A and B are shown apart, each in its own frame.
Chain A
Amino acid sequence: MTESIPNNAVISARHVDFWFGEGELKKQVLFDVSVDVLAGEIVLMTGPSGSGKTTLLTLIGALRRVQAGQLSVLNRPLHDASDEDRVQTRREIGFIFQQHNLLPFLTARQNVELMFELHPEIPRGETRRMTDDLLRSVGLGDRLDYYPARLSGGQKQRVAIARALAANPRLILADEPTAALDSQSGRDVVNLLQELARNRACPILLVTHDPRILDVADRILNMEDGRIQEVRSEH
């Protein structure tokens, strides 16, 4: 891998190291990770559990502070970002988690609409229309006013996707979005993500163990023992 950063890189990591713990218990989990994700790409990251995939994802998602190396996400250098900068970066990223973590006391529509609170520049009337469009686009047009408890696992994950897309993110980070779903719902969710990436030209970095969904990737990164082991191109 070259040191030069491609100018259409959305994520670019150079020599990123990361440790957990302090003193004697300090344990390195990422070793010299260098990787780029380019605009419009769907990149899958696989690897055994404990290999550091999720840690790398939280670094890219500006959820943890970079300890060593350089990491730029959406043209922001996270290796010297303040807490406030990191919050700003997170607002431009759509997150999809293994657990949907929808607020149980808000309906599907309210859960999605809540995200517009982060974007006061969008007029209130707009947000309702955008919310309904999003939920329709993930196939939940008839479940707008359902509370999460009354939705199936797949439907909840689709609400979570709609929520992640609410404010037109420039990057989507997903952590095992299909792990809690049966194969059909999992497939639907992945197809949905693929379609959204194509339509919106929004790059997706997806951590997964799920071999059923590898075919959607433009590239697959394999992580082992805190190192990117191989970069395999599907095409």
Chain B
Amino acid sequence: MSPFFVAWSQLSFHRVKLMVAAAGVVVAVMLMLVQLGIRQGAMDNSVAIARRVNADLVVVSPRTKTIFASAQFPRSLLYRAGSSPDVVTIQEMYMSQGRLRNPWTKLEFPVSVYGVDPENPMMHLPGYEKFRSELRQTDRILFDGLSRDNYGPVEQTLEQSGPMDVEVNLRKVRIVGAIRVGISINSDGNIFMSSANFFRLFPSRAPGSVDLGLIQLRQGADHEAVKREIQEYLGAEAKVLTRDQLIDSEIVFIRENAPIDFIFGMGAAVGFFIGFVVVYQILYTEVTNHLPQYATLKAMGFDDRYLLRVVLNQAVILSLLGYFPGFFLALILYRVATRAIQMQFSMTTERAVSVFALTMIMCIMSAMIAIRKVRTADPADVF
């Protein structure tokens, strides 16, 4: 009779106890998956805008830490990049925080404002170019359909009754349509427009300075080499980054400025700890309650190894019984969180596998400690 069979018989003998134990592991698995999922989601959503940049090279001010709070640099510098024969297109991009007034509640809410060229945005904004002729007109903007509800039912209204007027930065503008981009911990909502319209919303901004310069290179150009070349033309007042460097620096910014890793990492650690304690308690009491029987088995010639395998098998059974319900509960919670926080959360294979491994480690660690008790079962005490 295998240690697995003995382990299963022992665990399943008291159904209620087994369910309590499994529930503990379920909670642990769920916590770990949800916390790590939200951490990843918050991170991904925050760099989503940077990821949408299509340009090969990006120029920012050396003072810029994140594009969500960018410092500007002179536009004239950006066009020096054209001296390089590898440069095909140069494009300006503007970003700022504005205030959009909810037309229903008449309250103002912060909104991220993007000035992006309607002809060639050099950003992955599906549907943006469809509106290019409208966007060329004065005070015409696009709304992000995935923005928070703060701004009112804008998307539905657009669908039902077409373009609508709103107030941004105390100026009346017309929303001509909606595209779906997504928000993050940095912004509650997004609006997009041409650079000309951008400056109408921010009259105090100097027209000669840009937030982000986007550069398209000739096919097959060595990005790193061109980057070094352009950096020389631009001097110290502008910094050239590859697209990957831009994304990396955004990630670093979030890591350093939002306690995402700490908060959600700690949530996951608490989950691990809860699971560890519950499993340890269950295994330890199982061993303690059956110490005379274990000692009897040892007296009859079973060695410690057999009994250790019984306890280890119990740990593995508990982790399996806890993992799968925990996994499905986490999937449901991802859905709930996506709806509640209005950011996208999803399960990745990598996370599913690593939390599975963590669950196994958690149960086996508990077993390792509970097992010490098995060694104390003295066969000579049975008589």
Contacts and interface: CB of A to CB of B under 8 A. Distances in A.
Interface of A: 54, 57-58, 61, 63-64, 87-88, 90-93, 95, 97-99, 101-106, 110, 113-118, 163-164, 175
A214 B300 CA distance: 26
28 contacts: A54-B383, A61-B383, A63-B379, A63-B380, A63-B382, A64-B380, A90-B299, A90-B379, A91-B300, A95-B300, A95-B382, A99-B382, A101-B292, A101-B295, A101-B296, A103-B290, A103-B293, A105-B13, A106-B9, A113-B1, A114-B6, A114-B297, A116-B1, A117-B2, A117-B302, A118-B302, A164-B300, A175-B383
A101 B382 contact: yes
A87 B299 CA distance: 8
Contacts of A163: 300
Q: Which of A97, A102, A105, A115 has the most CB of B within 10 A?
A: A105
Contacts of B380: 58, 63-64
Interface string B104-130: 000000000000000000000000000
A80 to B, nearest CB: 19
A90 B300 contact: yes
A102 B380 CA distance: 17
A202 to B, nearest CB: 16
A116 B302 CA distance: 11
A132 to B, nearest CB: 15
Contacts of B306: 117
B203 interface: no
A114 B301 contact: no
A106 B10 CA distance: 8
Given A97-B382, A114-B1, A90 B301 contact: yes
Interface in B29-48: none
B302 A58 contact: no
A113 B2 CA distance: 11
B248 interface: no
Contact of A110 (B9, B295, B302, B382): B9
A192 to B, nearest CB: 19
B293 A117 contact: no
Interface string B1-39: 110001001101100000000000000000000000000
What are the 6 A-B residue pairs with the smallest beta carbon separation, nearest first? A91-B301, A105-B13, A101-B296, A90-B301, A63-B380, A175-B383
